[in-house]
Structure 1
Amino acid sequence: MASTIRVGVVGCGFYAQNHLNSWHELRREGADLTAVCDVDPAKAEAAGGNFGVPHYTDAAKMLDAEKLDVVDIVTRHETHRPLAELAIGKGVAAIVQKPFATTWDDCVAIVDAADKAGIWLAVHENFRFQTPMRHVKRVIDSGAIGRPTWARINFRTGYDIYKTQPYFYNEERLAIADVGIHVIDLARFFLGEVAHISCETQRRNPKVRAEETATMMLRHESDAVSVVECTYGARKLPDPFPETLLEIEGETGAIVVGIGLRMSVTSNGQVSEESIGSPLRSWTSEPWHASQEGAFNACQHFLDCLKRGVPADTSGEDNLKTFALVDAAYKAAEEKRAVEPENWRRKA
């Protein structure tokens, strides 16, 4: 592709502001935020005015009117498949917000459509792009703790997520599908692919239709084991929201990330500590900064991949492995047994 990448954003709601600000800031690196779209006319007009670009309420009309290189889809999951297939049908690359789609079949259909059309496709799975998690991966890749053999990765908060996203009260799937998917993806990122998963879910908040707590155990193909936890019902103070806390043990050492984004590394009997936070950007704020910067880093990665014509680390095909584990976790909880994740390539 050209050195300038023309970006259209579909969805101008709460979290989409992070995408919009990211693409706007990345203009220095070759991103051109060209147009925005939202079915809510007020949100579309506000985003268009804030970023000085044309706004639309119909994605098809935006794609017909604007010459775009990529569409960033930041909408509800039930709209992901039709919007992604619309972009792919127009020959436009697509970035799809997590969760990739509502069902496994929808996810596979999007990947198949992109494959057949030869269109670049990525999923905006941003936890692995958060600055603290990049620090952890750097330590693992350096060999400082040896081969990872065990981990506990958790996102436990009592932050009122329902205030800005009230539709969470009525979701059929909640904790695992919304935030557990991120933490599962981190387990893959740090310890590799997963052979099987076990899961226990809880609905401790009577106002919520679905599970708001999940405790999962993953056996990785490397024989490592990870415990992955997520809840929106934590009562502990201080609340680390939106930090991901973890412990990873390896053959020769360990990594611990605690509240306040402090990382402790034990390597061959020696202990070192460092802060793994980062300064606020002009448009980020506490407590959301770590998440907001993760969105920026993900967009920056996608921009670089588009310019070089290479797959993203979180390509559609890669994200199927994470989505398969989400489905497997729900099945494991329902059937009270360990479940192997779906492998669509094996069946092809």
Structure 2
Amino acid sequence: MTRIGLIGAGGISELHLPAYEDHSDEATLAGVCDVDAEKAEAVAEDFGVDYWTDHETFLAEADIDAVDIALPHHVHYPVAKAALEAGKHVLIEKPLAPSLSDCVELVESADERDLTLLVGQMQRYHPPYRALKERVDAGELGQIRHARCDALVNQGDLFPEGHWLYDGEKAGGGGVIGYSVHKLDLLRYYLGDVERAAAWTRTVDDAFEDAEDYATGMLEFESGAIADFSVALSAPAMPYTESFRLLGDDGVVHTLPDGQQQEGYVGSPTPRINARDDPDRRKDFDEVAGDGTDLPTANAFVNEILHFVDCVESGAEPLTSGRDNLGTMAAIRAIYRSAARDGERVTTDEVLADAREAAR
């Protein structure tokens, strides 16, 4: 039984709590920490555990084996670093850290101490996406030639002006690191690592400070596949939409809603797939059901946390380990560096080499 301390009791943490509520024999919530004492106390009371308001004291005093870090981006690195140095296994919400050199340092710190470091790229733990991975790996789409992913949302519908997600210094950027990171990671899951990126960003809404509310770009993967992406955060009345598509020699998959976008639609629909070997059904799509995967539940967040516990107890490398996530964060930083250079192509090798040098 792994005893886990939750650091960060607001926002995204609410989506983590069902794992501790419904699977307490495997993932035991043993303490809560938040700088907001009221939030920390509320969660702690629900689980019958103690709470703290300072993470260093929490790490020193709480009887825990691991931490679940659900905090704003700019404090991911210092809190995760402190947790690893205290000998705790770490599950941390995406992104691992805004700075790629900090990401490198966290991965090295976990390796030095033989600790588990898992990044919360939860979409890999969504059963239909796992089922699609199995079909892609089995070659059902043939060689994938092109992919696309989109993240379209009006952030003002979700967070008030002044929230840290509007602050590029705290968030590490805007729409790319805050939203596109999900589907960019998912494309890496299916296609492998990004080799280079070319991108452009714009800040249109004055609510965003040193952060883009619009971005678009192109990616080349080491597999030879090409892709494009877009993110928009301030288009009026835009319902939250994340989508992607994969175009292969023998089939196509997409997550576009049937017919037209529905107001109030949240998240990504079930992927749908077709194959070209049946002319009568060439444009008919079937759902990719999540049945039959090795995932224990239908809830991606719960699956992620249970996988974390399994890795802590077995010593196995997590699916979304810090080491793997360096590829996603290198793609993110290559996108930002390209945008700063007005669309010049930037390789992930370049940004990783610079990050490793800075981390020395």
TM-score band w.r.t. shorter chain:
0.7 to 0.9
Aligned pair in 2 of structure 1 residues 110, 126: CA closer, same or farther (>3 Å)?
A: same
Return the alpha-carbon distance in structure 2 between the equivalents of residues 102 and 246 of structure 1. Answer: 24
Give the corresponding residue for 1:246. Answer: 244
Q: Which of residues 16, 21, 34 is equivalent to 1:38?
A: 34
1:73 aligns with 2:73: no
TM-score normalised by the chain length of structure 1: 0.86
Bigger shift: residues 118-127 or 8-17: 118-127
Give the corresponding residue for 1:12. Answer: 9
Return the alpha-carbon distance in structure 1 between the equivalents of residues 153 and 126 of structure 2. Answer: 18
Q: CA deviation at 1:303?
A: 1.9
Aligned pair in 2 of structure 1 residues 118, 263: CA closer, same or farther (>3 Å)?
A: closer
User: Quick check: 2:19–2:27 contact (8 Å CA) kept in 1?
Assistant: no
Aligned pair in 2 of structure 1 residues 149, 236: CA closer, same or farther (>3 Å)?
A: farther
Q: CA deviation at 1:13?
A: 1.0
Q: CA deviation at 1:244?
A: 2.6
1:136 aligns with 2:132: yes
1:106 aligns with 2:97: no
1:21 aligns with 2:28: no
| Counterpart amino acid of residue 252 in structure 1 | D
Return the alpha-carbon distance in structure 2 between the equivalents of residues 267 and 312 of structure 1. Answer: 32
Give the corresponding residue for 1:161. Answer: 158
Return the alpha-carbon distance in structure 1 between the equivalents of residues 324 and 212 of structure 2. Answer: 26
User: Quick check: 1:183–1:228 contact (8 Å CA) kept in 2?
Assistant: no
Secondary structure of 2:134's counterpart equals helix
Aligned pair in 2 of structure 1 residues 75, 346: CA closer, same or farther (>3 Å)?
A: closer
Secondary structure of 1:258's counterpart equals coil
Aligned pair in 2 of structure 1 residues 316, 262: CA closer, same or farther (>3 Å)?
A: closer
1:57 aligns with 2:53: yes
Return the alpha-carbon distance in structure 1 between the equivalents of residues 237 and 130 of structure 2. Answer: 26
User: Quick check: 2:273–2:288 contact (8 Å CA) kept in 1?
Assistant: no
User: Quick check: 1:131–1:276 contact (8 Å CA) kept in 2?
Assistant: no
| Counterpart amino acid of residue 150 in structure 2 | N
1:170 aligns with 2:176: no
Give the corresponding residue for 2:78. Answer: 82
Give the corresponding residue for 1:339. Answer: 346
Return the alpha-carbon distance in structure 2 between the equivalents of residues 95 and 275 of structure 1. Answer: 31
Return the alpha-carbon distance in structure 2 between the equivalents of residues 177 and 304 of structure 1. Answer: 28
Give the corresponding residue for 2:266. Answer: none
Bigger shift: residues 311-320 or 129-138: 129-138
Return the alpha-carbon distance in structure 2 between the equivalents of residues 134 and 233 of structure 1. Answer: 31
Unmatched 5+ stretches in structure 1? 279-289
User: Quick check: 1:263–1:273 contact (8 Å CA) kept in 2?
Assistant: no
Secondary structure of 2:346's counterpart equals coil
Q: CA deviation at 1:302?
A: 1.3
| Counterpart amino acid of residue 155 in structure 1 | A
User: Quick check: 2:33–2:40 contact (8 Å CA) kept in 1?
Assistant: yes
Give the corresponding residue for 1:204. Answer: 204
TM-score normalised by the chain length of structure 2: 0.84
Bigger shift: residues 75-84 or 37-46: 75-84
Alignment of 1:308-327 (within 5 A): 308-327=314-333
Instruction: Map Cα deviations across residues 122-167 of structure 1 (whole Å, 9 max, x no partner).
Output: 1112222234432432331232111211111112123512249822
Unmatched 5+ stretches in structure 2? 259-268, 291-297
User: Quick check: 1:219–1:225 contact (8 Å CA) kept in 2?
Assistant: yes
Bigger shift: residues 306-315 or 129-138: 129-138
Secondary structure of 2:78's counterpart equals helix
Alignment root-mean-square deviation, CA: 2.5
Instruction: Map Cα deviations across residues 174-229 of structure 1 (whole Å, 9 max, x no partner).
Output: 10111122222112111111110011112232322221121121100111001122
User: Quick check: 1:262–1:274 contact (8 Å CA) kept in 2?
Assistant: no
Instruction: Map Cα deviations across residues 222-272 of structure 1 (whole Å, 9 max, x no partner).
Output: 1100112222234576x3x2x532221112111122126253322242346
Q: CA deviation at 1:45?
A: 0.5
Return the alpha-carbon distance in structure 2 between the equivalents of residues 66 and 183 of structure 1. Answer: 35
Secondary structure of 1:102's counterpart equals coil
Bigger shift: residues 263-272 or 148-157: 263-272
User: How many percent of aligned residue pairs carry the same amino acid?
Assistant: 29
1:126 aligns with 2:148: no
